[in-house]
Amino acid sequence: MDNKRVLITGAAGFVGSNLCLELQKQDYEVIALDIFSKGSKRNLSGFDGKIIDGDIRDFDWKREKVDAIIHEGAITDTTIKDREKMFSVNFQAFKKIIEYCKQNRTNLVYASSASVYGRGKIPMQEEQEKDILSYYAESKLEMDIFASENLSLFEERELKLVGLRYFNVYGPREMYKGKMASMIYQLCLQMKSGQKPKVFKYGEQTRDFVYIQDVINATILALNAKKNGVYNIGSGKSSSFNKIIKELNKNLNTELNPEYINNPYSHYQNHTLADISNAQKFLNYHPEYSIEKGIVDYIKFLEKKE
Ligand SMILES: NC(=O)c1ccc[n+]([C@@H]2O[C@H](COP(=O)([O-])OP(=O)(O)OC[C@H]3O[C@@H](n4cnc5c(N)ncnc54)[C@H](O)[C@@H]3O)[C@@H](O)[C@H]2O)c1
């Protein structure tokens, strides 16, 4: 199957919109589905495929016959305390998508999350013990478990079923996410307005920040995965918040020192770092953006927007 007709859920969101635009460039026929609750219509400017305003919880998947579904749609606010709502969007809707794909010969690539590792040991490996700190992370882990229970049926039918545990994604089209946008974007905004960048004491927490272009490449590669399963998608390197501030100072021509504040969270991921060896081997994923290169590219994009 050449996967040339693809439906993307969460298509107006950060990852979804970048994916729509890239697949369009690569001559895929793309159908964009979003409820437009969070995603922004502006994110899809320049996209000229079909756009459907619909809810993944009750969408009639039979409406659009596609080779593959790339499922990005989700409640992505990790602080939401309404478990029922989180599960109805993130998990129940996913179960229906799995059932549909299984019965209708459709490949499926879906977004999981590195949040399932919580404060686990680094580098984080797919099989390590999970540490669930939020309903969001719990809903993503349930997705992975349900997918793993369906792996053999997909395999018998020669279908792809690939989950991607994205790490800390940053880059163009995340702006509308507000407090849920990446720390790189938050720090950049503060510094551009002349404020000292605020980070928790003492800025030495680290994140595997992965640039959106690498995430998009990984997601497209997953359509032709050599093996079904769930894969870490990070850069394979981690950077401290202090390092990010240093890079931003360099690129914004500022000299702002961090303001260190108390961390009010008792459950906080101090470090994330992806072991990407499985994605390298089975997806042929090789990230191209170092943190330095990603920040240069991102700032260029933000400056063009002003
Ligand atoms: N951005 C990251 O750093 C990151 C990290 C790990 C995992 N992820 C996962 O990747 C995926 C994409 O993330 P993102 O950053 O683009 O998030 P996002 O919030 O920007 O996009 C999610 C999109 O889903 C849509 N949506 C929500 N409920 C819906 C519903 N009921 N029906 C249809 N559409 C609905 C929203 O309107 C939004 O446009 C998500 O599944 C997220 O959990 C993202």
At 45-103, the pLDDT tens digits run 999 999 999 999 999 999 999 999 999 999 999 999 999 999 999 999 999 999 999 99
Query: Mean of the pLDDT values across residues 168-195?
Result: 96
Please provide residue 270's backbone torsions phi and psi, each rounded to the nearest 5 degrees.
-80, -30
Average pLDDT, the chain: 96
pLDDT of residue 38: 67
Name the CA dihedral angle for 7, 10, 12, 17, rounded to a multiple of 10 degrees.
Answer: -60
Query: Mean of the pLDDT values across residues 185-197?
Result: 97
How does residue 1 score in pLDDT terms, banded at 50, 70 and 90? very low
263 Cβ closer than 6 Å to some ligand 1 atom: no
Question: Which is the closest atom of ligand 1 to the Cα of 136?
Answer: 43
73 CA distance to ligand 1 middle (Å): 5
CATH superfamily of 5-169+210-234: NAD(P)-binding Rossmann-like Domain (3.40.50.720)
Question: Which is the closest atom of ligand 1 to the Cα of 89?
Answer: 31
pLDDT of residue 191: 97
Planar angle of CA 6, 230, 152, nearest 5 degrees: 85
Measuring CA to CA, how many Å separate 157 from each of 2, 8, 104, 106, 217? 15, 22, 10, 10, 26
262 CA distance to ligand 1 middle (Å): 29
- For residue 202, say if its preceding peptide bond is cis, omega within 30 degrees of 0: yes
pLDDT of residue 65: 95
**Contact between residue 96 and residue 89 where contact means Cβ atoms under 8 Å apart:** no
The candidate with the shortest Cα–Cα distance to 2, out of 21, 33, 29, is 29
pLDDT of residue 268: 87
Question: Which is the closest atom of ligand 1 to the Cα of 57?
Answer: 31
**Amino acid (1-letter code) at residue 140:** K
The candidate with the shortest Cα–Cα distance to 233, out of 208, 253, 255, 251, is 208
pLDDT of residue 39: 63
For the cut 60, the answer to whether the pLDDT of residue 235 exceeds it is yes
**Cα separation of 214 and 287, whole Å?**
5
pTM: 0.97
For the cut 80, the answer to whether the pLDDT of residue 44 exceeds it is yes
Protein residue with least CA distance to atom 31, ligand 1: 55
Q: Find the helix or strand (DSSP H, E) in which 221 lies.
A: helix 212-222
For the cut 90, the answer to whether the pLDDT of residue 265 exceeds it is no
Check residues 36 and 222 and name the one with the higher pLDDT. Answer: 222
Please provide residue 66's backbone torsions phi and psi, each rounded to the nearest 5 degrees.
-130, 165
**Length, in residues, of the chain:** 306
**Cα separation of 114 and 122, whole Å?**
12
140 CA distance to ligand 1 middle (Å): 12
166 Cβ closer than 6 Å to some ligand 1 atom: yes
For the cut 90, the answer to whether the pLDDT of residue 41 exceeds it is no
Query: Mean of the pLDDT values across residues 167-172?
Result: 98
pLDDT of residue 305: 74
**Amino acid (1-letter code) at residue 82:** D
Tell me the pLDDT tens digit for each residue of 270-300: 999 999 999 999 999 999 999 999 999 999 9
